[in-house]
């Protein structure tokens, strides 16, 4: 039975900034620290974390939602791709980013929950904190 996880964080950036960074290979690399390539269109292929992750973009709703298939080198050869939905919602002080990750191979859900926090949310928070406009006193 495949697993499903939902993880969420708040980032100090606009939905537009996060969306654009997610679907741009250079920016995706900069915000996570792992090499990424992204063809920014529906049907476009993507890789992340130095080839550990690969898949295809299935849906794009600018500045609100990204849907991608994701496979990792940890998936067995009989596992199909997982499905990742990236939801962006503007809130006071930034954006709530919620990931709905489904069809994860059995027994790997908690590993990916931690991986999203450690390999995406933490470096993204640092990346967008450095890019946030400075407030004048």
For 60, phi then psi, to 5°, come to -135, 125
Per-residue model confidence (pLDDT) at position 132:
63
- Please list the rounded mean pLDDT of every run of 10 residues in the chain (137 residues): 94 97 97 96 97 96 98 86 97 97 93 95 96 55
User: From the centroid of its chain, how far is CA 8?
Assistant: 11
Per-residue pLDDT, 131: 75
> Residue 27: which of 46, 54, 10 has the closest Cα?
46
What residue spans of 3-61 are helical by DSSP H? 15-22, 25-32
Architecture per CATH, domain 3-131, reads as 2-Layer Sandwich (3.30)
Q: 118-133: per-residue pLDDT in tens?
A: 999 999 999 999 876 5
Q: Check residue 36 and report its DSSP letter.
A: -
């Amino acid at each position: 039975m495949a697993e499903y996880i939902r993880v969420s964080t708040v980032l100090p950036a606009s939905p537009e900034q996060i969306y654009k960074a997610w679907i741009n290979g250079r920016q995706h690399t900069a915000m996570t620290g792992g090499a990424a390539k992204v063809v920014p269109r529906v049907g476009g292929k993507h890789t992340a974390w130095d080839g550990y992750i690969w898949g295809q973009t299935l849906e794009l709703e600018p500045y609100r939602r990204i849907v991608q298939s994701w496979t990792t080198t940890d998936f067995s050869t009989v596992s199909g791709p997982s499905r990742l939905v990236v939801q962006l919602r503007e809130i006071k002080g930034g954006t709530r980013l919620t990931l709905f990750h489904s069809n994860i191979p059995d027994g790997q859900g908690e590993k990916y929950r931690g991986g999203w926090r450690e390999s995406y949310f933490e470096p993204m928070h640092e990346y967008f904190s450095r890019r946030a406009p400075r407030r004048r006193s």
